[in-house]
Amino acid sequence: MRPLLAAILAVVSAWACAQSAPPLRIVDTWPLTARELPYSGARPATHRLQLALFMFDDTPWRPEVILQAVRDIAPILAQCGVRVERAELWRLGGGEPRLRDLETPISRQLVRRMQPAKPAVFFVRDTRHAPAFDAEAFGRGNTATRPELAGTVWVTAPIRDLPVALAHELAHVLMDSGEHSAEPGNLMREATAPDATRLAPDQCRRIVTNGTASGWLQRARAGE
């Protein structure tokens, strides 16, 4: 009976915490327009990407760090003809404390409550998953039992090489694949590094093909 009692007490405690928490709300927003996200591809863009970004106001994340990371991923994705057309960062306040960490049932609730356009990136305090990763990506292939998470990336505060890590996780989502590369300098190496930003032609093909099929990339307009 003791494990059952402990489980019941945990549920009651979580319910009580949720009842006493202030309402979840949007505190601030920061948009990044196409003018602030210049396209640097060798050829005209073939596809467009828009990003929804979320952080909480009582975690270590700072808006300026996140916005700069988004600026920095633009030339990485431009290798594939993908233009980051727009991004918007929402800073959230209130809500249950557990919303600040990646935890499948709680994070599913957060996505349902925010109803973001996707791809969406959540900059969270930490993860409750085991094994613990500094960032996780959810495509369609690994979310059959948790469909709300499809098209989302979760980045924890201890992350290193933020722009590279963010581009890496977005590529996982757009390719709908968890595969890594052993090629030196490749963005999809298992361990990110500041100088590992290259994407191979076959990786670019999967990014644009699967990303478009999922509705997370749109074809570029004429003249872009």
Write the secondary structure of 174-196 as one string of H (helix), E (strand) and C (coil): HHCCCCCECCCCECCECCCCCCC
- Dihedral of alpha carbons 154, 157, 158, 163, sign: positive
Q: What is the pTM of this model?
A: 0.89
DSSP H/E element including 63: helix 63-78
Strands 120-124 and 101-102: unpaired
Distance from C-alpha of 26 to C-alpha of 55, rounded to nearest angstrom? 10
Q: Topology of domain 26-219, per CATH?
A: Collagenase (Catalytic Domain) (3.40.390)
Q: How confident is the model at residue 221 (pLDDT cuts 50, 70, 90)?
A: confident
Q: What is the mean pLDDT of residues 10-31?
A: 73
Mean pLDDT of the chain: 92
Residue 8 has pLDDT above 80, yes or no: no
Q: What is the mean pLDDT of residues 116-140?
A: 96
Residue 41 has pLDDT above 70, yes or no: yes
How confident is the model at residue 222, as a pLDDT?
Answer: 65
Distance from C-alpha of 106 to C-alpha of 216, rounded to nearest angstrom? 24
Residue 34 is given by DSSP the state: G
Distance from C-alpha of 91 to C-alpha of 206, rounded to nearest angstrom? 32
